[in-house]
Amino acid sequence: MAPVQIAPGIYDVGVNDWNVQDFHGYSTPFGTSYNAFLILDEKITLIDAVKKEFADELIANIAAIVDPRKIDIVISNHTEMDHSGGLPRVMHRIGEDKPLYCSKMGQKNLALHFPQKWNFHPVGSGDTLSLGKRTLHFLETRMVHWPDSMFTFLQEDGILFSSDGFGQHYASLEKFDDALSIDIMPHAQKYYANILLLYSNLIAKLLAEVGKMNLGIRMICPDHGIIWRKDPGKILAAYDRWSRQVAKRKAIVVYDTMWHSTEAMADAICEGLHETGVAVRPMHLRRWHRSDIITEVLDAAAVVVGSPTFNNGLFPTVADFLTYMKGLKPKNKLGAAFGSYGWSGEAVKLILDELQDMRFELVSQGIRHQYVPNSEALEACKAFGKSLGARIIESVPEK
């Protein structure tokens, strides 16, 4: 990807990773980008690096604009390897003694990652750095989503370099929100749901803090995906909504099945939910990736989980999903369970125990049926769905 000028004297010199399909358990069928930014001023500054395998491409992009050895300052907003892996190659090319600005935890992490003795300059919230005509402001964003994370704000241009905040795993030759032919918001929602959901309380506080600072943000440049140029307020408003986990009148029915009995129960539950006017989406765990399911969970009022009993326990894909969801800690959800069984039938109770441990509000003791559900059992499942739909309508105000 050739460098792209995003404002006078400011360039995205990052790279596209078109072929990555999995990002630590999160499906990325559209690839991703590792964005890095070059500011030309009295002190030429590079903000962030890229994944190790793309370091030479980053250096070539810089060289298309300026001799890399003329870079005066490097800033590392986040030390995760998709942004710091290329740092050794970059620092070797521009000069190991060049100042490297990062948070205090960033310095600790980089020293643990790499043996090089770099010229660290740790910064904290409120610290500033003059580049000449421009001024950088630093804001620590601890645990959003690593303890070293921080934002860098370019005051005169109103540009927020937001590290892993406000990003999407989406590779594109078009770099701006107003240049895309697709709606990028579903990709941003998936990114939030799978990367940042766990830190929603911290993100809500951060958004409030940024609002009080009255920065006058005119552009948001994340380290993944497209740049918010036309309407940065759109993604800020979405993060506010997602961080508060505002639910829609919507239910997700997540399940796996062995001989289609649990699947038949899922279909009947969905039918009952639909008849109440609640939006419902059945999601078979071997047809949908868990990261896509979590994206739907983000704004759902209820999560219904179904599993056949397998060796006196949960079906493996269901156990995997529950573990994944538990780690992300969704809040303000109704929970329910169902499933078929042969001779023991523990799965429903095991699901309910997991949902209760996640602090879901359980709507019943679940519904289960031995072997193949007959018409009476399916009617009971449909009634179960209707009852849950009524609870959703009761708990979620009409928009």
One of 41, 48, 80, 148 is an active-site residue; which one? 80
**Residue-level pLDDT at 212:** 74
Query: Is 209 a known active-site residue?
Result: no
Q: Which one-letter DSSP state was computed for residue 54?
A: G
Map out the domains of the chain as residue ranges: 4-243, 253-391
Query: Is 121 a known active-site residue?
Result: no
Enter the pTM of the model: 0.94
**Residue-level pLDDT at 210:** 83
Query: Is 11 a known active-site residue?
Result: no
Query: Is 113 a known active-site residue?
Result: no
Structure tokens, 70:
């003329």
Distance CA 106, CA 146 (A): 9
One of 17, 34, 57, 145 is an active-site residue; which one? 145
Query: Is 320 a known active-site residue?
Result: no
Q: What is the pLDDT along the chain (399 residues), one digit of tens a residue?
A: 789 999 999 999 999 999 999 988 889 999 999 999 999 999 999 999 999 999 999 999 999 999 999 999 999 999 998 899 999 999 999 999 999 999 999 999 999 999 999 999 999 999 999 999 999 999 999 888 888 999 999 999 999 999 999 999 999 999 999 999 999 999 999 999 999 999 999 999 989 888 877 789 999 999 999 999 999 999 999 999 999 999 999 999 999 999 999 999 999 999 999 999 999 999 999 999 999 999 999 999 999 999 999 998 889 999 999 999 999 999 999 999 999 988 888 899 999 999 999 999 999 889 999 899 999 999 999 999 999 999 999 988 876
Could you tell me how far CA 227 lies from the centroid of its own chain? 16
Distance CA 394, CA 249 (A): 10
DSSP for 113-127, please give it: H-----EEEEE-TT-
**Residue-level pLDDT at 399:** 67
One of 137, 224, 289, 369 is an active-site residue; which one? 224
Tally of CA atoms within 13 A in the half-sphere of 270 that contains its CB: 17
Helical segments of the chain, H only: 55-63, 81-84, 87-94, 104-113, 185-191, 200-213, 232-243, 261-275, 290-297, 316-328, 347-357, 375-395
Query: Is 164 a known active-site residue?
Result: yes
Name which CATH class applies to 253-391: alpha beta
One of 24, 376, 394, 398 is an active-site residue; which one? 24
Distance CA 36, CA 15 (A): 8
Structure tokens, 322:
């529950």
Structure tokens, 51:
């994944």
> Dihedral sign, CA of 103, 167, 231, 203?
negative
One of 78, 137, 187, 369 is an active-site residue; which one? 78
* Contact indicator for 197, 298 with CB cutoff of 8 Å: yes
Query: Is 82 a known active-site residue?
Result: yes
**Residue-level pLDDT at 215:** 82
Partnered with residue 123 across adjacent β-strands are 103
Partnered with residue 302 across adjacent β-strands are 251, 334
One of 26, 34, 170, 191 is an active-site residue; which one? 191
One of 12, 48, 57, 82 is an active-site residue; which one? 82
Q: Which fold has domain 4-243?
A: Metallo-beta-lactamase; Chain A (3.60.15)
Partnered with residue 5 across adjacent β-strands are 11
One of 41, 164, 263, 292 is an active-site residue; which one? 164
Query: Is 145 a known active-site residue?
Result: yes
SS3 assignment for 59-116: HHHHHCCCCHHHCCEEECCCCCHHHHCCHHHHHHHHCCCCEEEEEHHHHHHHHHHCCC
Q: Which residue has the tokens 């508060």?
A: 244
